Structure 1
Amino acid sequence: MIFPVVMAGGNGSRLWPMSRELFPKQFLSLVGNGTLLQNTLTRLDGLDSAAPILICNEEHRFLAAEQLRQIDLLDHNIILEPVGRNTAPAIALAAQTALLRDKDALLLVLAADHSILNAAAFRQAVTAAKPFAEQGELLTFGIVPSHSETGYGYIRRGKQQGDAFSVARFVEKPDAPTADSYVASGEYYWNSGMFLFRADRYLEELETHRPDILHACQAAMGSTQSDLDFIRVDEEAFKACPSESVDYAVMEHTERAMVIPLDAGWSDVGSWSALWELAEKDSDGNISQGDVIQHQSRNTYVRAENALVATVGVQDLIIVQTKDAILVAAKDQVQNVKTIVNELKAADRTEHRLHREVYRPWGKYDSIDNGSRYQVKRITVKPGAKLSVQMHHHRSEHWIVVSGTANVTINDKKQMLSENQSIYIPLGSVHALENPGKIPLELIEVQSGPYLGEDDIVRFEDRYGRS
């Protein structure tokens, strides 16, 4: 049985301001209808595969769970990494998990943030790779290059064996003349970072080439804990694991690496210019998403989240508007967007880390206004969801119900509120908010006090394990 293993780490800083540390690109809808993560999983429809194994970090766990729930693939199948240790250890965790379910498990290792336009061609490549993987070969999928590219690593093919080739060598990102020669030769593919191999064979290769990684991951899996839909590994054991990619740890050393060519409209969605390449354009080469008006503009990508964006007489620009930031960049300079992210970090700002609208397991909130001693939020609570039982040392709150029904508890006193009703939560009081209804609860929260940070929350009870 094939077990899809989806690597959902990373923060996609080159797609700022849409991608943030707490809401990275794999959870965004950038290509097609679903998010990149959801599209990664739904393109597997038609393959004979088990439920996916998703690997992500602690901060993204509820985002990942909600997106799997939306496509009916949530089944206690999310492994949480206490810290990032790159792909080789992550795959080792997944391999051990899959072997508990099937001693002959095949791992189809995928990145959560890639786009593949031709899903049928991708499934055909997986099907072609499967017999080789079952025989113990370690397959990687090499992207047939559409142009000379210096931003990817390359794989040189060796002797052909049916639909696959032996791997002659892996090559680091080349300079432009070298990339030109690779593409002209017809012997090189882009390294996609996607793999298919038997779980037990991967662990055997890891034992041979990087036993330190294998033993640390075995220790981490030796003491797991179940938490809602998550599998938590032993934190101290995993922290002791070296950080290494699967390429460096295994694929560049094994004698049984093979490559399957893949020509399916693949992109790693690594920049805004990559999104311009992927999206459908008008007759002037423009892309407009959201409330956008373009006049006498050419080859320009404009994405508007919640405001009108108009362009006049511009060309080759990337313009992205979110609720709290606007990016304007030359299309040939978008690889440098991450320098803006680094400047935000250095300035101790928050725009690199979270959006104005923040998602929580119970719903979301949007910080619509703030001042030196007040903050106003629009809060949405999902049907049946409940915020933690909590208190604040430095702020009081007013809640005004806009729509839906709120079950409010203040110091053990319960009260039901409906539309246009409000309530005051004094500083220091223990309180909770629940939506007992069947529609989302919308309310406005007005906070006041000398300190309004999110860390001024003392949780006493929480159904999501955050207390």
Structure 2
Amino acid sequence: MSPLIPCIIAGGAGTRLWPVSREAMPKPFMRLPDGESLLQKTFVRATALKDVGRLLTVTNREVLFRTLDDYRPLNKTQLELDFILEPFGRNTAPAIAAAALHVNQHYGADAQLLVLPADHLINDLQAFAAAVARARQLAEQGWLVTFGIEPSHAETGFGYIEKGLGLHGESFQVSRFVEKPDAATAQCYVDGGQHLWNAGMFCMRADVILRELRKFAPQVVNAVERCLEQSHHRQGQREVQVELDRDSFALAPDISIDYAVMERSKEVAVVPCQLGWSDIGSWQAVRELSPADVHGNQCNGETVLHDVRNCYIDSRQRLVGGIGLDNLIIIDTPDALLIADGKRSQEVKLIAQELKRLGHDAYRLHRTVNRPWGTYTVLEEGPRFKIKRIEVKPGASLSLQRHHHRSEHWIVVSGMARVTSGEDEFLLDTNESTFIKPGRPHRLSNPGVIDLVIIEVQSGEYLGEDDIVRFNDIYGRAPAAPGST
């Protein structure tokens, strides 16, 4: 059989799970009650399949290092990793086109691509492996195979797949894809037994999906081909990175693979399955992962409740008191609080959309922001000042940079810092400090074996994260690209 290459698609902002999921730290990185992220769970089930020699991930360039941090503790067999790095999302059709072109060129036209969203939960890994095995048999025959979840109830938040002619192995040709239905239609689908939930997972040969893309969406595959020709390729030890060219990728149509190909092709098959699947698409879906107490409440964090029923409360850092509440969702993060009617959890995305329209940072960033070298947390800010807690991993280094409009005062809280300031380079120990004037080239590094923690006090007329000029960076970030340290 053809080689199997799982392709994890990690895109989207997960706006229905705001304020935990944000553009710069989207849903795949959310930690579940067992401490693993959705991305890590996807990695585990993909790499546990038979005959997997490498893994391909399509994700945003800005979250590459967080992705590597999630993969690293799980990749005990040193599986080879390929990354296609998008400058921004253009939906699933361009992402899958890029994956198929990459696989076709480097690993053979007959290689099978197993496309897996990074933000779904599957509890029955044995059933998942069996479904993939069935899908691979169909893909070998030239089918574009999708996975249909046997519906357990009438769900209006999912698309559906209608079964057509039967194929071998209890699989079916797809009769049609159906948009998210109203409640009455969804109940008819469940009662009729001919419809499955659309899980958004696919198995197909690289040459077959490229053939169908050229037939039904040539503008997508042509644009992505041109983009790949102009993109930067980087190869290291057991790792390949393809950084898609921003200008040419912007020319690719923003369209899903369902609209572009699956709803139009006659070569689509579906494998019905029961996987213990959830798309974790809302806070209602998240709350179903935890058992409720005798009053129907699910609480993460410290709470004091009186006459409170059927509520989901997640507040890891602050005590929550509640009186006389019923069926509310309360999500507390250091910089944002969500209070929603439990029956309207799908509408949380409207809050995120409005924040984005307003240009509010709470759409894009948390107070703690991940960077390749570690994290920074904004502790306090006001006119002309900002205070950050910066944590640098052992052996890591910020870029050599300068700022035009702000000065920085660094105080070491723990660990040892190596500081470059102009022509000078020196070490700072715990409780020692230094001052960086505006316009002065500087760099902060951690030469030690424990985390370096510093407090940074910024002062100046303008404190935006785009006031930065990079001269040198070990993580390959563009020298003059806007962004934070």
**Deviations along 1:305-342, whole A, 9 cap, x unmatched?**
32222333322111111010111111011222122223
Q: Does 1:390 align with 2:391?
A: no
Equivalent residue for 2:380, pick from 369, 388, 393: 369
Assess, with a 3 A threshold, how the Cα gap between structure 1 residues 43 and 76 changes in structure 2: closer, same or farther. Answer: closer
Which residues in structure 2 correspond to 1:320-331 (within 5 Å)?
320-331=331-342
The residue number in structure 2 matching 1:411 is 422
Q: 1:235 to 1:367 in 2, by over 3 A?
A: closer
Task: Pick one of 308, 320, 326 that aligns with 2:319.
Answer: 308
1:140 aligns with 2:146: yes
Q: Secondary structure at the match of 2:448?
A: coil
The one-letter code sitting in structure 1 at the alignment partner of 2:25 is F
1:284 shift after superposition:
2.5
Deviation at 1:364, TM superposition (A): 0.4
TM-score, reference length from structure 1: 0.95
2:361 corresponds to:
350
Query: Partner residue of 1:225?
Result: 232
2:279 corresponds in structure 1 to 268
Q: 1:60 aligns with which of 50, 60, 63?
A: 63
What CA RMSD, in Å, does the superposition of the two structures yield over aligned residues?
1.8
- Matching of residues 454-465 of structure 1 within 5 Å: 454-465=465-476
Q: Please state how far the C-alpha of 1:403 moved relative to its aligned partner.
A: 0.8
Structure 2, unaligned runs of 5 or more: 480-485
Residue 202 of structure 1: aligned partner: 209
In the TM superposition, what are the counterparts of 1:332-343 in structure 2 within 5 Å?
332-343=343-354
| 1:19/1:28 contact within 8 Å kept | yes
Residue 31 of structure 2 corresponds to 29
Are the equivalent residues in 1 in contact too, given 2:61–2:243 (CA < 8 A)?
A: no
Corresponding letter in the other structure for 1:459: R
Give the paired residue count. 467
Identity %: 48
* In structure 2, distance between residues paired with 1:84 and 1:359: 19
**Conserved? CA contact 1:136–1:201, under 8 Å:** yes
**Kept in 2: contact 1:206–1:250 (CA 8 A):** yes
Q: Per the alignment, do residues 74 and 232 of structure 1 end up closer, same or farther by CA in structure 2, a change over 3 Å counting?
A: farther
**Residue 74 to residue 420, structure 1, CA distance change in 2 (3 Å):** farther
Structure 1 pair 361–74 and aligned structure 2 pair: CA distance change class (3 A): farther
Q: Does 1:109 align with 2:115?
A: yes
SS in structure 1 of the partner of residue 226 of structure 2? helix
Single out whichever of 395-404 and 217-226 deviates more from structure 2. Answer: 217-226
Between 321-330 and 54-63, report the one with greater CA deviation.
54-63
Unaligned stretches of 5+ residues in structure 1: none
* Conserved 8 A contact 2:127-2:273: yes
Distance of aligned partners of 1:71 and 1:399 in 2 relative to their CA distance in 1, 3 Å threshold? same
Question: What letter corresponds to residue 428 of structure 1 in structure 2?
Answer: G
> 1:305 & 1:77 partners in 2: Cα distance?
35
Assess, with a 3 A threshold, how the Cα gap between structure 1 residues 93 and 409 changes in structure 2: closer, same or farther: same
1:6 aligns with 2:8: yes
Please give the alpha-carbon distance, in whole angstroms, between the structure 2 residues aligned to 1:68 and 1:341.
28
Q: Distance in 2 between matches of 1:364 and 1:343?
A: 27
**Contact residue 368 and residue 376 of structure 2 kept, 8 A:** yes
Deviations 1:203-228 (A, max 9, x none): 11112222222222222223332247
In structure 2, distance between residues paired with 1:217 and 1:106: 19
